[in-house]
Structure 1
Amino acid sequence: MTPSPPPADPSRPAGPRPSRSRRHSAEAVTRLLPRPLQALIVAVLLVFVLLPVLYMFFASISSDLAVARGAFLPSRLDLGNYVRIWSTTDLGSGLVNSVAVAGGVAVACALVSVSSAYVLVRYAFRGRLTILRGLLALQSIPGTLMLLPVFVLFASLATLLGTPVIGTRWALFVTYLTFALPFSTWIMVTYLRGLPRELDEAARVDGASSWRVLTRIIVPLSWPGLVVSSILAFLLGWNDVLFASVLTNPETRTAAVSLQVFGASQEGGAIPVYGQLMAAALVCALPVVVLYLAFQRYLVSGLTAGGVK
């Protein structure tokens, strides 16, 4: 007979216990830095991060003359800059183009990366390690080196098809997808390695196919990884200026290019419209901030997946 387990201690609280590695890491940080020093370091980091944002906000509600004089705090509240930017610069169409291109890249990366990662993690075939190493090696290639080859490729494709390619949203979409997909796939490979294979085996015993296992088990359990890969792909398309300035025209330029053109057009003037520039920059940054705040919980769990076993 096997010995019976000892009775539970009623003095201990019920519920799941925190993992030993997490407790040890938290205790190590507490022992390394005392609480007052931790608070001081966090406060200094917040000052470095929030001070430029506060300056941009104060400048966006100040007059251009006050900003040109170097005033930090506004003398009076003026929200007119947030109204004038829509007529001064073509920011509205730029935001629409950025959302369309970057959002499409994020969705495509999420769908393709989870499927590719599922095959790379769950199946063994010839060339699997080569593909995984290639995904990692592609991250070391600077994007600036690919600008001229991409431009020549699209120009040749336009000549072959007889239809313009450069200056369309599809050119940006394919370009961003090319750079974002390997990184998104690598993130999903790292995340899916942490999912137990027993879930797949139990579903196959019940008669589920590979597609059903992917859609019914893997995808619902992979939301944190999908959110991380999607947001990083979205940021690639949202923040890019180099490829967007070359592969777009005035009708298809993104918000980042519109902001750059708006800032360059103010150089050499008597008093540049600093207030409108700061207001336009805050408006362009707002969707990314909202995106991070909305998916913060998934981002934390997705980025730390695989870090602690």
Structure 2
Amino acid sequence: MSATVSTKRTRQPARSGTAARHPNAGRAKQVTRLMPTPLLAVITTLLCIMVLVPIVYIFLASLNTDAGVARGEFWPSAFSGESYVKIWTSVGLGKAIINSILVSGSVAIVSAVIAVGTAYVLVRFTFFGRLTMLRGLLGLQSIPGTLMILPVFVLFSSVGTYLGISVIGTLWGLFIAYLTFALPFSTWVMVTYLRGLPRELEEAARIDGASNLGILFKIIVPLSWPAIVVSGIFAFLLGWNDVLFASVFTRPETHTAAIALQVFSAGQEGGAIPVYSQMMAAALVCAVPVVLLYLIFQRYLVGGLTAGGVK
């Protein structure tokens, strides 16, 4: 009997201690919010409205007539999909989209491939001028394109004059111009990502006899897909959205989608009213490749954008 009482007495403090620690453990698991839930819901709703209203207006305007859009009608008085038919013959939108996909896709692939190897050398090896190159990558990203367009144009014109190679007005000349600006950003994204990869994997591969190229292609590249996708997508957007360089370095046969939209904005139907409806339809069509790109690679984007933030 006494043994039973003593056992109960010894178990009693343990239960009370567990109960005392339980509230603190529950508080530690609670998620801390920066603002109350109702306020967060209101702000999120407003942001969604700010994004969705222009998109809805563009879609409705593409189904409206040019006169209806010019009058400021939000809801069309008569729905018509004629604009989606005319855009392919008005300024050659199909050819322009193909040119943009070729140039932007090539820039995305080439910049991502070069950036992986360049970042691997800058992160894993020590040599003279390494820090200067890293700082130069940041410096190149801060130079606006408006300051570079005239020097690049003169350089391309000089190459065409002295070597007899046509650069201005060609897609590969536009490709080189875009690659010049996309490569520093892609390299810096890969540098940030590779700094977070553990070196132990590479050391284990070296013990097994792997070379530097073997480590790069068999270890670094498979582990770096999120950063590769992010750098490629941003390089693709650089070429897809550009108007400044495309307006200078292209001719009608090599116009990109951005230039085609610019031609739509300057066009007029009947000599008086701009082709607002066709312009809205062309804008939606040109946005489709970018949206599909994000939908296909969205599972890589979050990991790539947050890579290197926590080590």
**TM-score normalised by L of structure 2:** 0.88
Structure 2 match to 1:286: 288
Residues 242-297 of structure 1: CA deviation (Å, up to 9, x unaligned): 00000001101111011102211239942222111100011111111111122112
- 1:53-98 deviation per Cα after TM superposition (whole angstroms, max 9, x unaligned): 1100000011222211111112333111111110112111100110
Sort the Cα spacing of 1:121 and 1:264 in 2 relative to 1 into closer, same or farther, 3 A. Answer: same
Q: 1:175 aligns with which of 161, 177, 183?
A: 177
Distance in 2 (CA, whole Å) between partners of 1:305 and 1:226 is: 11
Structure 1 match to 2:105: 103
The equivalent position to 1:37 in structure 2, one of 23, 39, 49, is 39
Q: Is the 8 A contact 2:264 2:278 kept in 1?
A: no
Alpha carbon RMSD of aligned pairs, Å? Answer: 1.6
Aligned partners of 2:269 and 2:275 also within 8 Å? no
Q: Distance in 2 between matches of 1:266 and 1:181?
A: 39
Q: What is the CA–CA distance in structure 2 between the aligned matches of 1:267 and 1:141, rounded to whole Å? A: 40
Which residue of the partner structure matches residue 10 of structure 1? none
Q: What is the identity, as a one-letter code, of the residue corresponding to 1:27?
A: V
What CA deviation, in whole Å up to 9, does each residue of 1:82-121 have, x standing for no partner? 1111011211110011000000000001100000000111
- Aligned length, in residue pairs: 284
Identity, in percent, stands at 66
Q: Where do residues 71-86 of structure 1 align in structure 2 (5 Å cutoff)?
A: 71-86=73-88
Shift of 1:185: 0.1
Letter in 1 for 2:66: D
Partner of 1:27: 31
Q: Answer whether contact 2:266 2:274 (CA < 8 A) is retained.
A: no
Q: Establish whether residue 209 from structure 1 lines up as the match of residue 211 from structure 2.
A: yes
- Which 4+ runs in 1 deviate beyond 3 A? none
Question: SS at 2:64's partner residue?
Answer: coil
Match of 1:150 among 149, 152, 161: 152
Does 1:46 find its partner at 2:45?
Answer: no
Tell me what 2:70 maps to. 68
Alignment of 1:83-232 (within 5 A): 83-232=85-234
- Aligned-pair distance for 1:213? 0.6
Judge which range, 62-71 or 245-254, deviates more.
62-71
CA deviation after TM superposition for structure 1 residue 27, in Å: 2.7
Which residue in the other structure is 2:267 paired with?
265
Q: In 1, are the aligned partners of 2:267 and 2:275 still within 8 Å (CA)?
A: no
Q: Is the 8 A contact 2:247 2:259 kept in 1?
A: yes
In structure 1, the partner of 2:277 is 275
Larger Rg over CA atoms: 2
**Structure 1 unpaired stretches of 5+:** 1-22
Provide the residue aligned with 2:23 in structure 1.
none
Q: What are the Cα deviations for residues 204-232 of structure 1, in whole angstroms up to 9, with x where unaligned? A: 11111111111111001101000100000
Query: In 2, Cα distance between the equivalents of 1:124 and 1:275?
Result: 58
**Can you give the 5+ residue segments of structure 2 that lack an aligned partner in the other structure?**
1-27
Alignment deviations for residues 125-153 of structure 1 (CA, whole Å, 9 cap, x no partner): 11111100000111111110001000000
Aligned residue among 302, 305, 308 for 1:306: 308
Moved more, 159-168 or 193-202: 159-168
- Supply the distance in 2 between the matched residues of 1:79 and 1:267 (Cα, whole angstroms): 16
Counterpart-to-counterpart distance in 1, 2:107 and 2:283: 23
Normalised by the size of structure 1, how large is the TM-score? 0.89
CA distance in 1 between partners of 2:65 and 2:240 (Å): 29
Instruction: Specify the code of the residue in structure 2 equivalent to 1:57.
Output: F
Q: Residues of 2 paired with 1:269 and 1:40: CA distance?
A: 46
